[in-house]
Amino acid sequence: MGTNFTNLSVQGVPLLPGEETYDRVLWVSSVKGGDGGNGGDRATPLASLFGTSGAIAKAADGATSYPDGTLILVGKGHAENVDAADVASELGSNKRVKIRGIGFGIDRPTLTWTTATSTLLLDTDSLWLDNLNLNLEPGTGTVNVAAPITISGNGCALTRIKARAGTDSNAKVTKASS
C-alpha cells in the first residue's frame, strides 16, 4: 500500500528534497493573489514577484532575521512580465532566495521579457530559479532583448527551466560580450 506524501511541512515550512530549509515561505499567484492586503501565505498569495509589494521585496524586507533564506513558491499558471532593467532590484544584497514554480509543462509559472532593456540580475549569492518557463523575449513585435539574465553571484542556479530565446528574426535575444 502506497502513501502520497505531497505537501509535507513542519510548522508551515514545506519539506523539500536535498535537505533544503528556509526560514520563511512566501506564496505568489497572479491567478489567485493580490498585493493589497495579502500576506503571501498559501491562502492569501501575493499577486506578483516584482515591484515594491511583490514577493522579492518582501523577501528582502527583514532578510537579516532569516539567515536560512526565503522560499518563494509560485503557483500554477502564474504569468508575469520582466519589463524593466534589474526588475528584481528590491532584493538588494540579500542572499538565499529560491523562486520555485509549481506545476508541469505549460502549467508552470511563466516570466516574459517584454522590452529590449528587460533584465533579471542574479547578482548576490545563492539566488535560485527552479521549474519556470522563461520567455526571454516577448514572442511578437521587433524586440531584441539584450542580456536578459546576468548571473554573477556565487551559488546561483537555474534548474528545470524551459527557456524561449528567440521566435524569429524580429524577436531575438543577445548575450553580453565577455
Q: Which of the pair, 7 or 127, is modelled with greater confidence?
A: 127
Neighbours of 172 (CB within 10 A): 16
CA-CA distance, 145 to 136, in Å (whole number)?
Answer: 7
Question: How distant is the alpha carbon of residue 102 from its chain centre?
Answer: 11
Higher pLDDT, 53 or 173: 53
User: In this structure, which amino acid lies at residue 98?
Assistant: K
Statement: residue 140 has pLDDT above 90: no
Maximal C-alpha separation, the chain:
56
Provide the b/e sequence for 89-120 (b: ≥16 CB within 10 Å). ebbeebbbbbbbbbbeeeebbbbbbbeeebbb
Alpha helices (H) along the chain: 55-60
pLDDT the model gives residue 174: 74
What are the residue ranges spanned by the domains of the chain? 19-174
Percent of the chain with pLDDT over 90: 46
- Find residue 135's DSSP bridge partners: 112, 164
Instruction: Tally the residues of the chain.
Output: 178
Instruction: Tell me the pTM.
Output: 0.84
| pLDDT value at 10 more than 60 | no
